[in-house]
Amino acid sequence: MNTPQIQRPIVLVTGSGGLIGSRIVPELRKSYTVVGMDLHPPEQEEADVDHWIQVDLTDDESVAEAFSELQTNHGSDLASVIHLAAYYDFSGNESPLYDELTVQGTRRLVDQLRSMQVEQLLFTSSLLVMNSVDVGNRLTEQSPTNAEWAYPQSKLATEQLLREQHGDIPVLILRIAGVYDEACHSLPISNQIQRIYEKQMESYFFPGDANCGQSFVHLEDLTRCILAAVDRRNQLPSFKTLLVGEEDVMSYGQLQDAIGQHLHGKEWPTIRIPAAAAKAGAWVKQQMACREEDEPFIKPWMVDLADQNYPIDATEARHVLGWTPNHSLRGTLPEMLSKLKENPAQFYEINGLGSREPSEQRG
């Protein structure tokens, strides 16, 4: 007599092919049936989801068709919806996708979920939606918000939409710190590393307080956090916001010194310059770029954000999810920099730092 198979709970992951999604899916599949939704199909060797559905979250009809396929194949009961899909751009340019994909895409998602039995909607927001604090203070879930550029503004607007429209769907919002791993995979960190590695002039100057810093979180730790949130979904309140990141924060100056020491055998001097001078320099470099790939990472609008300080108190995440980071940026940085020295071209390629050979760029 055959023993009937027990149906595993269904977890839907939007943006399943992205950096975070591709790391979460294999871990989820150990306990759940995972349905991935994304705009582009996964590479064959990375097709880890149990069922992949193409969706364009900016299009009503596409979202409706995707959910029709979901319900036809898996029914209407979802243990969790991990909503990762969003628009992200460091250019500083205005884009309609911040609203159409991040905000309205979430609205379309919620509209479809209302007719289903959903135990949890987990939305990945950003720590950047919060107001910077003075050096010596830490952010908590009760700290005020103050999104200062397009990306966090779209995340904050989506948080508000969920607060107003989630109805009977339990919502967990994770305000996530900057994500990294041993290969880096962090635009701010990789560009800071590049500037020091190449001894660029900009690497010596900073328009803000070098004692300020930002919390980060290792990709493996973030994966564990999200898994814990899914596993504990029925123990959480109907609407909850948590800060997710490391409490050990390296200041900008500490990060500079650590990178310089590892790459060049000495601490890296950081000279504070007026914001107006920094903006002018950034503007000139931007105008001199002949190709899009040659455009400098630091844009004039970023100068105004140089004094942002985002250390966090992660007590609530420890209490609610039983989660604490196993890694730290301070501890991972040496391995990250060793990978750069062992294979500069690969490091540059992984982190999108340009197509030229690093050895040709250094002075």
Q: Which residues have CB under 8 Å from 113's CB, separation 6+?
A: 78, 81, 121, 169
Residue 57 has pLDDT above 90, yes or no: yes
CA–CA distance, 58 with 96 (Å, rounded to integer):
10
Prediction pTM value: 0.90
pLDDT of residue 41: 86
231-282 per-position pLDDT tens digit: 999 999 999 999 999 999 999 989 999 999 999 998 887 755 444 444 334 4
CA–CA distance, 245 with 225 (Å, rounded to integer):
10
**Domain with residues 10-181+215-244, CATH architecture:** 3-Layer(aba) Sandwich (3.40)
pLDDT of residue 270: 72
Mean pLDDT on 65-69: 98
Q: Which of 68-72, 126-130, 290-294, 347-351 has the lowest mean pLDDT?
A: 290-294
Yes or no: say if 217 and 246 are a contact pair by the CB < 8 Å rule. Answer: yes
pLDDT of residue 3: 43
Domain boundaries, the chain: 10-181+215-244, 187-212+251-309+331-348
CA–CA distance, 26 with 17 (Å, rounded to integer):
11
* pLDDT band for position 43 (cuts 50, 70, 90): confident
75-85 per-position pLDDT tens digit: 999 999 999 99
